[in-house]
Structure 1
Amino acid sequence: MNFIISFTIFMALVAQAVSFEPNRETDMTHLDSLSPEVLPLDAWGIATYPLEGKIPGLLTQKQPDGWQPSGLDRTFYLDLMEPVIRMAASWVSESGALIDPVIGREWAQSTPRFVSSAAILLYFDRIPELQDIVFCSMTYCCTQLAAPQVLRDRSADFWMRELATAYDCLKEIAPQELVAQWKTDLARVRPESAYLCVDATHRNLERFHNWAVYSSAGESMRDSAGIGGATDFLWGNRFFEVYMAAQTHRFTTFGMYRDPADPITYDITTRLQFAAAIARGYEGPMRDKLGEVLRRGNLTMLLFVSPDGFVPFGGRSAQFNFQETIVCALSELEARRYRNADPVLAGAFKRQAHLSARAIVPWFSDCNPIRHIKNRFDPKTKHGCDTYGQYSVYSMLATSYLGLAALYADDTIAEQPTPSELGNYSLTLSPAFHKVFLCANGTYVEIDTQADPDHDATGIGRVLFKGLPPGFPLGMPFSAKPKHLFAKGTAAPVRPVALGPVWQRPDGSTDALAEWSTGVVAETTEHKVGDRVDGVSIRYRKGDTQVVEDVRIDADKVLLCWAVEIDGTPVRSVEITVPILIHDGGDHARIEQSETDLMLVFGGKTVAFRWSGMSDPRLEAVEIANRHGVYRILRLVAESGPCHLSIEAVPGKLVQ
């Protein structure tokens, strides 16, 4: 979709801009770094960090064989962004609004995200021929945000952080008359009139969640940018402190942020907002404690991302490519925190930033057009997208966060292996987020112990091998009533599905671990060989039923075993459901099955499923879908004793 851009109202200013040479007196890469010291959070009712000292211990392990630095730097972030922003520039209307090419209209905060992304590219001397389009869009956004009656149905709470970033990047590049106009418009913004998640009485602020953090961060960055505001309304750092003070009850001891129903995405993206505010200069009374929340949360993040840098499944807004770009930006900031005090940990964060950026290349650089979510369905199908996750808004969010990572990068910091590359650990998040992670030898398993039924299913939802895409062999479970959309001809299963057991109760009804979404008690025990963790056992209890799920990693092999009891009596006949990838909307898998194994070939790589003590292997013809793609269910029946299954990346078939 192409638009002819008219700049009649800018002609005089643009004529001056033709000979304008950018001045870099303002260094956008000079940031306020946080302290590496531990700070108690008792004043916020938050106990001691449960993982204190764990990551430094993991980082003492021997480097994996063949490990090498990635060779990446901030240029890689800019290179990923630039083609996307060049594409998006063709979507800009005469007024400056970004028109989504799929739905044919502007969507929510897409335009300011385009502006901030493009402004960062201009700051780094990229896309100079597009600067007039960027100036036009910036003017449009500033004018719109200053008129709350126009914008209240377009997610105004998210706009200021993007525009404050753009303002800082453009203020020495754009004609000064335009800069002054932008500043005047933004200074007119009255947050408690313009934003949706506000309460001018300040009596009910705790009911707000991530939107209030986005707007608070934007207001602080408005203050740091010197944009200003009048004295007769709440704005800037004063707004930040009033609204953020009501958010502290949402932080866990692990430093994670709890949006309703504990979606993983809204932990990391929300923490990035106040991290950005601190990086741009917030020095108020909440700075140090928020810095400690970030210290904990980002150490935890190092343990729950996969060896290739992928963000876990869990809740809404999952599997979008912007998730990994959040990890890039947060990790770049954390690398700065430790660069002097702990160069090894600083290097692990630097490496994590680069791995997570590289993780999205198959959808950002290798697809035409780019995909904003991790599948290869045509974007017009919206397959896997939440109803609000339109193509423009989440493509631009990915570039916006890549831009922050570029601003935050200190490329004097040398990479070191990440905890997930070194492995030999497990992580249990409970009760908040209800996840167990196991990582060893480049292999990674994620388990949901009490899933949100609107998005996931309880049990093993992810098995990943280093170098394989996140949907192969399994990237997430299958909700029976998901909130995301499906391509025509694809559908969710009738009942929730994860990798795990199904059985009959004494009354003849069918039960399944995947369906246990409430009233579940789960206890996790680690299996160790010396100091190395190579497995976990999870004991689930609900009512009169107990399921024991044993997960171990041996080299490139995941070993699984299940046992089910009702009232203390073993269930003799247990069926194991194994999702088998068919296609991801583009590429198709090849299946070779026998009585004792199934070989799954996808993208030239092979994963083997092998079983023992189970009979009657049946690969169902019915297809089910999740955000990644389309699968069929392999059903295996154990008539007596525990159920054993192994999943193995076949040697010699992996991408190194």
Structure 2
Amino acid sequence: MNKLHTGNVYPWQAELEKFIGQLNTTPNRVEDGWTRQRKLAVLEKLVRAYIQHQDETGAIIDPYSESERYYSTPSYALAAAVLVKEGRHDLLESAAAALTHSIACVVEEKAPDQHPDFFPIMMMGAYRLLKHLLPEQATAWKRQLSRIQPEQTYIFTMSKMKNPNRMINWNAIMISGEFLRAAEGLAADAEWMEAYIRSYHLPRFTGLGLYQDGPLDRPNSPFAYDIVTRFHLGVMLENGYDGGCALELRDHLRRGALSSLLALSPHGEIPPRGRSAQHQWNEAAAAFVFTTHARHVLAAGEPGLAGALRRAADLCWQAISRWQTDDGKLHIVRNHYSSEARHGFEVYSNHTCYSLWTAAVLAHTLLYGEGIERIAPAPIPAETGSQVLETDGWFQTVIASVDGQQMVVQTSVNDPYNIPGIVRIQQSSLPPLMGPSSAGHADRGFTGFAEGDIFPLSYSPAWQTEDGKWHSLSEGIPGTLEFDRDGGIDPQDGGGSVQVEQSSASGGSTDITLLWRGPFPGVREIRTHYHQVRGKIEVEYELQGNIQHVGALIPLVAYDGRERSVIHHVMTAGEETESIRVEYAGTILEVVPTTEGTNVAWPEELASVACRNGLLKGARMKCTGSRISFIIRLPE
């Protein structure tokens, strides 16, 4: 049975209208310095870092695994071709060689790591840019590209998989490139795509326009594969797709762009959830979405909203460039560990592939961003006003923002890969990782770490049962089935539930109460209350059940692969008050209990917890009774 939720009414319409009203009444141009030339410089530096890794066949060889990986080479071909279009003619021969090699990999069914489905959109993009410059080679390219038979050549097709649950992002990615091949007259037609789009992709969109990846009956819904699938389908629309699904698809993508804008953090990052989170290509795909929709919105006569979308795209470029090294390469995940260490990498993450795929998507963004500099940047929602957003479908996330500060709460209670609690706090005046920016895990799933223990650590309630054992909400509720990282989970498995009992956003503050029910050890119900203003988040937990102590887990950034924080357990003289202070990257964050008699402990199992950004250290506050409260203080 298909359980995916869609709807006709845009669920965040009130928040969107409030934001547009703020833009119209208090116009505020943002001078962020992200000109087209600055963006080109980021892309060029990234592309030129890999020329030295191109072999005599045109392939890009990964310096760490010493082989060609995934779709590194076609990614390079497209990114280099866009730079050739921009006048970097010395890259022409290199781009052409990469394209020739990539086409051969697909036609001869020798794509590295069995990933041919990712090749066509980049091959066709490079082909379109280079064919007029190299007419003799273009004839050979055309002949080879005309030989592709989609159902035979690619992996994620019904002919190969014979399973509708497997028609996931791979299939949409392949279709986007195949549409470009058909548009160039190199394929018979594009009619066969309609059945795939109609049957397997349109049903995955929520009312918010978010794409739910994973099996149709229980999608695991990573934000990374939402944004990247919308990027690929957006390339189709930008290139004139007008098939039977076009109107519905265009509406989904418009909604998705607005939802991504409303949910974007003040540091230009999409929410953290699911596999491939905090990989740089997430924000590259978002930059494309924001850029293209900024143009469409401006054409529709809404310059203020277009300015916010332009600013969102700029912030995504900024988020990526922050992790570009002096030699032009990227830390492909947001930490400073070496690429050899693979800290926070997925099992499939690869340095060269994900650096160059980021480059390819940024190249697409420049290619379809002509004229965006005529749009004056305006603040994004997370930079102005206040809002509370509850995602629909199976994304299980609540996002609260106020005046340059954002808090992300995950509400999945039976998913060990996406644990419940506050999993991210970001503020524009703090380093992005300070909050911290990601939580621990109950199960590492796809993710590997160079060091640190696997533990479900987030800002979450904790309690000691009558047998003396400590538990936490972040542990979630065990399901009846073993966790399947590929197949996903059923959010109803295990019997838990989460309800937004109340929420409000006005006057520079947000207020949320969540009610958690389920078979938690010794506890029937948990209420978590969050009140946020700029510089401060007040948190209160109330538990109903038979417990000895109530507590709170506190995740603290400890190490990012380069810099260690200094964590203080503060005892105030003359008062029975203990608090926590973290010093990191020249800034300070404090966590101060507000319930009398609260003590701070440092459990051994929380001493070194692995997360995508490095290592966390966890504290546990505790007191008697059924309630505990504390304040997270952030510099204003």
Tell me the TM-score normalized by structure 1: 0.86
Alpha-carbon distance in structure 2 between the residues aligned to 1:64 and 1:492: 48
Aligned pair partner of 2:347 in 387, 394, 399:
387
Residues 1:421 and 2:380 are matched in the alignment: no
Alignment correspondent of 2:276: 317
Structure-1 separation of matches of 2:321 and 2:170:
29
CA distance in 1, matches of 2:251, 2:608: 46
Aligned-partner Cα distance in 2 for 1:523–1:64: 35
**Distance in 2, Cα, partners of 1:272 & 1:122:** 23
Instruction: After TM superposition, give the deviation of residue 355 of structure 1 in Å.
Output: 1.0
Structure 2 match to 1:545: 524
1:487 is displaced (CA, Å) by 4.7
Q: Name the structure 2 match of 1:557.
A: 536
Aligned partner of 1:107 in structure 2 is: 69
The reply on whether 1:258 has 2:258 as its aligned counterpart is no
1:17 corresponds to which residue?
none
- Give 2:198's aligned residue: 245
Alpha-carbon contact 2:345-2:449 (below 8 Å) kept:
no
The answer for the alignment partner of 2:602 in structure 1 is 619
* 2: CA distance, partners of 1:199 / 1:641: 54
Deviation (angstroms), 1:435:
0.5
1:176 maps onto 2:155 in alignment: no
**8 Å Cα contact 2:64/2:340 also seen in 1:** yes
Amino acid of the structure 1 residue aligned with 2:624 = E
1:548-600 deviations in whole A, cap 9, x for unaligned?
Answer: 1111112211111111112xx6x451121111111100112122331332221
**Conserved? CA contact 2:413–2:496, under 8 Å:** no
Q: Which residue of 1 aligns with 2:439?
A: 477
Query: Any idea what SS the aligned residue of 1:601 has?
Result: strand
**Unmatched tracts of structure 1, length 5 or more:** 1-43, 652-656
> Which of 298, 320, 324 pairs up with 1:360?
320
Letter aligned with residue 68 of structure 1: V
- The question of whether the paired residues in 2 share the 8 Å contact of 1:64 and 1:422 is answered with no
Q: Secondary structure at the match of 1:552?
A: strand
Q: How does 1:506-525 map to 2 (within 5 A)?
A: 506=466, 509-517=469-477, 518-525=494-501
Deviates more, 1:373-382 or 1:629-638: 629-638
* CA deviation map 1:329-351 (0-9, x unaligned): 00011111111321111111111
Change in Cα spacing, 1:367 to 1:546, as seen in structure 2 (3 Å) is farther
Paired with 2:336 and 2:413, the residues of 1 have a C-alpha distance of 26
TM-aligned CA deviation for residue 506 of structure 1? 4.5
| 1:278-315 superposed Cα distances (whole Å, 9 cap, x missing partner) | 10121212111100000111111112110121111101
1:464 to 412, 420, 426: 426
Which residue number corresponds to residue 257 of structure 2?
Answer: 298
User: In the alignment, residue 627 of structure 1 is paired with which amino acid?
Assistant: R
1:602 to 572, 578, 584: 584
Letter of the 1:377 counterpart: Y
Q: Does 1:91 align with 2:53?
A: yes
Change (3 A) 1:48 1:363: same
Task: Note if contact 1:59-1:419 (Cα within 8 Å) is conserved in structure 2.
Answer: no
What pairs up with 1:248-287 in 2 under 5 angstroms? 248-260=202-214, 261-287=220-246
Of 243, 248, 263, the residue aligned with 1:289 is 248
Q: How many residues are aligned here? A: 594
CA distance in structure 2 between the partners assigned to 1:335 and 1:157 by the alignment: 29
For residues 367 and 648 of structure 1, do their structure 2 counterparts lie closer, same or farther at Cα, with a shift above 3 Å needed? farther
Confirm whether residue 60 of structure 1 aligns to residue 13 of structure 2.
Answer: no
CA distance in 1, matches of 2:635, 2:387: 23
Unaligned runs of 5+ residues in structure 2 are: 215-219, 478-493, 572-577
Give 1:129 shift. Answer: 2.1
The one of 228, 231, 244 aligned to 2:186? 228
Distance 2:508 2:166 in 1: 42
Instruction: Provide closer, same or farther for how the CA distance between residues 586 and 65 of structure 1 changes in structure 2, counting only shifts above 3 A.
Output: farther
CA–CA distance in structure 1, aligned partners of residues 539 and 212 of structure 2: 31
Per-residue CA distance 1:418-470 (angstroms, 9 max, x = gap): 11111411111145101000001211110110157452311111111113333
Question: What is the percent sequence identity of the aligned residues?
Answer: 24
CA contact (8 A) 2:264 2:271 kept: yes
Query: 1:31 maps to which residue?
Result: none
Question: CA contact under 8 A between 1:492 and 1:626: conserved in structure 2?
Answer: no
Q: Contact 1:109–1:154 (CA<8 Å) still a contact in 2?
A: no
Give yes or no for contact 1:382–1:485 (8 Å, CA) kept in 2: no
The 2-side partners of 1:636 and 1:529 are apart by 28
Q: By how many angstroms is 1:485 displaced?
A: 4.6
Over residues 631-654 of structure 1, what are the superposed CA-to-partner deviations in whole Å (9 max), with x where a residue is unaligned?
111111121242112112224xxx
Quick one: which amino acid aligns to residue 443 of structure 2? Answer: K
* Residue type of the alignment partner of 2:581: M
Tell me the secondary structure at the aligned position of residue 373 of structure 2. Answer: coil
2: CA distance between counterparts of 1:389 and 1:206?
Answer: 23
* Partner Cα distance (1:306, 1:183) in 2: 43
Aligned partner letter, 1:547: I
Q: What does the per-residue CA deviation read over 1:49-85, in whole Å, with 9 as the maximum and x for residues that have no partner?
A: 2223531321322789997321323323221111111
Judge conservation of contact 1:527–1:533 (CA < 8 Å) in 2: no
The match for 2:114 among 145, 148, 154 is 154
Query: What SS is found at the alignment partner of 1:59?
Result: helix
State the secondary structure of the residue aligned to 2:65. coil
Give the whole-Å Cα distance in 2 for the aligned partners of 1:368 and 1:179.
Answer: 30
Contact 1:504–1:511, Cα closer than 8 Å, also in 2: yes
CA contact (8 A) 1:333 1:408 kept: yes
Q: Counterpart of 1:522 in structure 2: which amino acid?
A: V
- CA distance in structure 2 between the partners assigned to 1:202 and 1:109 by the alignment: 21
Match of 1:534 among 480, 499, 510: 510
* 1:2-17 aligned within 5 A: none
Contact 1:158–1:215 under 8 Å retained in 2: yes
Partner of 2:488: none
Question: How high is the TM-score relative to the length of structure 2?
Answer: 0.89
CA 1:452 to 1:90, structure 2 compared with 1: closer, same or farther past 3 Å?
farther
The answer to whether the 8 Å contact 1:480/1:492 transfers is: no
The answer on whether the counterparts of 2:69 and 2:112 sit within 8 Å (CA) in structure 1 is no
Aligned to 1:209: 168
Looking at structure 1, the residues matched to 29 and 176 of structure 2 have their Cα atoms a distance apart, in angstroms, of 38
Q: For 1:515-555, what per-residue CA distance to the aligned partner results, in whole angstroms no more than 9, with x for missing partners?
A: 11543211114443657651211111113621111111122
TM superposition shift of 1:491: 2.5
Offset at residue 201 of structure 1 (A): 9.2
SS state at 1:636 partner: strand
Counterpart-to-counterpart distance in 1, 2:192 and 2:338: 42
Matched, 1:633 2:594: no
In structure 2, relative to structure 1, the CA distance for the partners of 1:117 and 1:467 (3 Å cut) is: farther
* Aligned alpha-carbon RMSD (Å): 2.3
Letter of the aligned partner of 2:569 in structure 1?
A: Q
Letter in 1 for 2:124: A
Take 2:330 and 2:285, find their aligned partners in 1: how far apart are those partners?
18
Match status 1:578 vs 2:560:
no
